[in-house]
Amino acid sequence: MWFLIVLVIIILIIAFKSIKIVRQAEVYIIERLGKFYKVADAGLTIIIPFFDHVRSVVSLKQQTMDIPPQGVITKDNVTITIDTVVFYQITDPAKAVYEIQSLKKGIEYLAITTIRDIIGKMDLDETFSSRDGINTQLRVVLDDATDRWGCKIDRVEIKDITPPADIRDAMEKEMNAERNKRALILESEAQRQSAITIAEGKKQAAILEADADREAQIRRAAGEAQAIKEVAEAKAKEIAMVYEAIKNANPDDKLVQLKSLEALEEVAKGEANKVFIPFEATGALASLGTLSEVVKEKK
């Protein structure tokens, strides 16, 4: 009875040792008699107890590793602190276990030395403006170096770059000065644009005013010309009417001479001291003298 109980217990122990269940996204590195035997994928795996054992459980998922903040010196001799994170994935579990003692330590030390080498070739300002370039260089170097370890570096990101306190103060002052400079430039540009707009408006107003004055003068001149034309036409009509009336009256020579004398009388009323009578008018005057004598005799 006791024998059966012991036998069952031994069988259970052997079954427990023999049956392994590998979870998804993991693999088991199995050794037989101290030598690499196989890589067990996800699922049920049977091993021989006391001959086979699981050396390591390796995750195939993408993993992250924070690199401790490192103080590095830039090309212009400024010490800055850089905080970095590495994203990696194991592609060959056997190499990751057997080619290096500690994969994480290897990646960490390699990342630290590479960061110091890259930053040492850059100025302080360049480190802030070239994060993408630094990340790319780090990824390429780490990926090449860790390939023989069965590891692939997917991404390297610089989380923070911290300069010394005095450098930060100087940078803040420089940024404030640059912002004030841009504000002054924008203000002066706005004033210049405003002055240009005002001058352009005045110019357009002056042009419009000059056009209005010119148009008014043209219209005024046209009106005056039309008035003169109408007056001249009226005078011409008046003269034509007088001429026509005189013509219809059929005046004799005596009446014409009398009207001539009336016209001379109007001329004599002027401010001139002397009046010159044409020679032809003397005949009319003589006729008037004769007429006056006839009138006296009749009386």
Domain range annotation of the chain: 2-59, 63-163, 184-249, 251-299
Quick one: CA dihedral 162, 163, 167, 173, positive or negative? negative
> Looking at the domain 63-163, which fold is it?
Tetrahydropterin Synthase; Chain A (3.30.479)
Flag whether pLDDT at 298 surpasses 50: no
Please state the length of the chain. 299
Q: What is the pLDDT of residue 167?
A: 75
Q: Which residues pair with 156 in a beta bridge?
A: 86
Q: pTM score, two decimals? A: 0.56
What digits encode the pLDDT tens for the residues 9-27?
A: 877 777 777 888 889 989 9
Flag whether pLDDT at 276 surpasses 60: no
Cα 116 from Cα 84, distance rounded (Å): 12
Per-residue pLDDT averaged across 1-10, rounded? 77
What digits encode the pLDDT tens for the residues 79-119?
A: 889 999 999 999 999 999 999 989 999 999 999 999 999 99
Contact 45, 27 (CB under 8 A): no
* Helix and strand counts by DSSP (H, E) for the chain: 8, 8
Q: What is the pLDDT of residue 253?
A: 59
Contacts of 124 (CB under 8 A, 6+ apart): 74, 76, 78, 80, 163, 167
Q: Which alpha helices (DSSP H) does 99-130 contain, by range?
A: 103-119, 124-129
> What Rg do the C-alpha atoms of the chain give, in angstroms?
62
φ/ψ (deg, to 5) at 48: -90, 120
Task: Indicate the burial class of 115 (C-beta count within 10 angstroms; 0-12, 13-18, 19 or more).
Answer: buried
